[in-house]
Amino acid sequence: MKMTGNTILITGGGTGIGRGLAEAFHRLGNTVIIAGRRQGVLRETAQANPGMEFVGLDTGDSKSIDSAVLHLSDRFPKLNVVVHNAGIMQNENLQGSNTDIAKQTIATNLMGPILLTSALMPGLLEQPSGAIITVTSGLAYLPLAMTPTYCATKAALHSWTQSLRYQMQSTGLQVIELVPPYVQTELMGERQKQDPNAMPLTEYLAETMHLLQTEPHGTEILVERVKPLRFAERGDYDELFKTRNDGLMKARAAEMPGKD
């Protein structure tokens, strides 16, 4: 994709990877609109980056998507790039009967990008060039059993991205998948942000932006740290899955919700 001169919408743009991407693209001279549920966080991010815009959007709520798209179509008719970054990740105990987490995760992580893309598609297709960028996860390829629905939504989003890319072949829209590893963000709270086992956010952003700049026709943006997960099926997958999950389940047992 071209790296400047775009009008870019980034969901979940107030914190973490979303904010980092927003600030990186903003520095390159793009018009950047960040979207999310927390107006205070969005406002603080926009004020810290003069010229950045923001709009309230809950990707887990179809009415919120419709309202935001009306606003975006009116104010930003040249919108040509959307980054589907918003997501939630929570531990689940599948021996229980509470499915609220699963419903919310599917609505936000999977249905949100599908519905938002559909609503934005007429305007995106009017632009001479642009991109739809999905943010999946290395866990789409080697799931973490503690967060089963999150991993399932990211695997589904990867599959959907492939189909979208195929259907966009004859248009000016590029379809790109970012596949982060475990990164120091607040996705699962302060512990993750401080976890020395996670990739520092600044390092992830620097490597990702470098790959976007040097691989203008790339379809999957894979930093080196995520490749063991992305290509896990090429090795001893069953053993890797068991070893990884046994270790994490033991280390984080206290974080698991109890049975209902």
Residue 28 lies in a domain: yes
**How far, in Å, CA of 139 to CA of 116, rounded?**
23
Say what the pLDDT of residue 260 is.
63
Domains identified in the chain, total number = 1
> What CATH number should be reported for the domain holding residue 251?
3.40.50.720
Residue 169 lies in a domain: yes
**pLDDT tens for residues 25-45?**
999 999 999 999 999 999 999
Percent above pLDDT 90 for the chain: 93
Rounded-to-10 torsion of CA 54, 217, 151, 205 = -60
pTM of the model: 0.94
**pLDDT tens for residues 192-205?**
999 999 999 999 99
Say what the pLDDT of residue 258 is.
80
Read off the pLDDT of each residue in 151-177 and give the average, rounded to a whole number: 97
Percent above pLDDT 70 for the chain: 99
Say what the pLDDT of residue 97 is.
85
Residue 255 has pLDDT above 90, yes or no: no
Residue 67 lies in a domain: yes
- Measured distance between the N- and C-terminal CA atoms of the chain, rounded to whole angstroms: 47
User: Which of 141, 150, 182, 204 is the catalytic position?
Assistant: 150
Residue 2 lies in a domain: no
**How far, in Å, CA of 102 to CA of 89, rounded?**
10
Domain ranges, residue 84: 7-255
Q: Is 150 tagged catalytic?
A: yes
**pLDDT tens for residues 89-123?**
999 999 988 899 999 999 999 999 999 999 999 99
| 159, 177 Cβ separation under 8 angstroms | no
Read off the pLDDT of each residue in 54-71 and give the average, rounded to a whole number: 96
Say what the pLDDT of residue 256 is.
86
